[in-house]
Structures are given as structure tokens and as C-alpha cells.
Amino acid sequence: MGEENKVGTYNFVAEPFHVDFTGKLTMGVLGNHLLNCAGFHATERGFGIAELNESHFTWVLSRLAIEMEEFPMQYEKFSVQTWVENVYRLFTDRNFSILDKDGKPIGHARSIWAMIDLKTRKPADLLTLHGGSIVDYICQKECPIEKPGRIKVTSVEPVGEYVAKYSDIDCNGHVNSIKYIEHILDLFHIDTFREKMIHRFEMAYVAESYYGDKLTFYREQISDNEFDIEVKKNDSEVVVRSKVIFKN
């Protein structure tokens, strides 16, 4: 298979209710599009959720890092490319490029996925699935952003609290991956987004949370433009960690 055939390309337009008050596509919607593209790309190659569910496996998103130089603006067309960078026994790395309407890269993203057995909830061995054919999709395309790093928050002073509601819950009964992104960005004052843009956004999905769970948000400022965030449920377990890096 040629390297070109290993890359999936999907077209979008920045819809009016998908941009923020500055007219930029929101990080939540972008994350949603990336995860959808991952789904399209995997499905087209026989590794989609629907096929996996039949054999009682599913994909679980572990890490997501998105780095943008600029954002698609309201009504602008843009596209997302995605490909598989690596496959290990328990994880696979899937990367993304975000291209503007003229095909110029304006951002990139990295994601790390595990596969679990729905019956045992244990990780599955990716290298034995479908006779190991997933490695045929590994592609040598460059993704010029750093891998997701370690995020460590020591603050014990909450900066926000939120009880998970109907609209937060996905069809697996969990608070959905995209809603965390919205709730985390809502910790910041709107003026932050007026003066700066989000340059890099990282999510580490650690545990699931459910309807009615009390989510508590802790934030630590690392430098002028860099913030680490930790979300705990019901005053105990860490659910997600996140890093937000703004640029002026």
C-alpha cells in the first residue's frame, strides 16, 4: 500500500454554532471532528467501533494533544488528515493534520488509543487482532508537534465544580470526551480568549465519570501562558488531566 493511501482526508466547514465569540472554531468541536475522522479512517479499514463491537472489542481514547497555529474561522472550509503512526501491543498512535481552505497545514494533533475487551474490560493485544493486519496501515507521514507529556497538578484549591448532567453523557453512559474539553476551557475568563489564542491543548483520559458525579477542577499556572488542569470526581479519583498553552 502506498503511503498516500494510508492517509484519510475529510472535509469540514466551520459552522456558526461551532465557533466561539472570536469567530474561531472551538477546541471542543475540533476535538469532535478529529475523533470522528479517527472513526471514519478506522471503519474504512475494518477497524471501526461497529466492527470491533461485534467481536466484543472497542477503542478507548487515552491521550489527545492538539497544536494550532491558527483556527478555521466561521464559514471557512478546512480539512483533517489522519493516519496511524505506530502500533504497539497495547497502544496505537494516531496523528492528524488540520489544513486550511487552501490546503496549508494550520495545526496538528496526536492521539493514543488502547483497545479493550468489552467483556473483561481488559486491554486487548493489537498485534494479534485481525492477524496483526493493523500494522499494514502504519504510515511514515511527519507530525511536527511534541508527543503528549506528563501533566502533574499539586494544587488542592478547586477553581470550579460541576455536576455531570444529561447533556454530558454519551451512549456508553460516560461523560463524553468532548464535554470535558468545554468544561475545562470554561474555567478561563472570556478575556483570556479575547487576548490570546489556544496554541496547544492536551487531554489525558484517566478514568470514566458518570451522570450525577461531582467534578472538581484544579488548576496550576506553569508560566504566563501555560496551565495544567486536573479533574477529580466525587472528591477522590482523577478523571482527566489537561494542559492548555495559550499564545499572545
Which residues of the shown chain bind its own copies in the complex (CB under 8 A)?
Answer: 15-17, 19-23, 26, 28, 32, 35-36, 39, 49-50, 74-75, 165-167, 169-173, 176-178, 182, 185-186, 188-190, 193, 211-212
Q: Which is nearer to its own copies, 9 or 176 (CB)?
A: 176
C-alpha cell at 94: 494516531
Comparison of 182 and 220: residue with beta carbon closer to its own copies? 182
Rounded to the nearest whole angstrom, what is the least distance from the CB of residue 131 to its own copies in the complex?
A: 26
Tell me the three cell numbers of residue 173.
453512559
Nearer to its own copies, 6 or 94 (CB): 94
* Residue 139 CB partners (closer than 8 Å, separation 6+): 3, 6, 7, 83, 84, 85
Closer to its own copies at the Cβ: 75 or 88? 75
Residue nearer to its own copies on the CB measure, 91 or 188:
188
Pairing of the two strands 238-247 and 197-205? antiparallel
Q: How far is the CB of 57 from its own copies (least distance, A)?
A: 16
Neighbour count for residue 221 (Cβ, 10 Å)? 10
Q: Distance between CA 207 and CA 213 in Å, rounded? A: 12
**CB nearer its own copies, residue 49 or residue 138:** 49
Cell 489527545 identifies what position? Answer: 64
Longest pairwise C-alpha distance within the chain: 53
> CB of residue 15 vs its own copies: minimum separation in angstroms?
6
Please report how close the Cβ of residue 173 comes to its own copies at its closest, in angstroms: 6
Please answer whether residues 41 and 88 qualify as being in contact, where contact means their C-beta atoms are separated by less than 8 angstroms.
Answer: no
User: Rounded to whole angstroms, how far apart are CA atoms 139 and 136?
Assistant: 8
Question: Measured from the CB of residue 59, what is the shortest distance to its own copies in angstroms?
Answer: 11
To its own copies, the closest distance from the beta carbon of 26 in angstroms equals: 7
Cell numbers for 111, please give them: 492521539
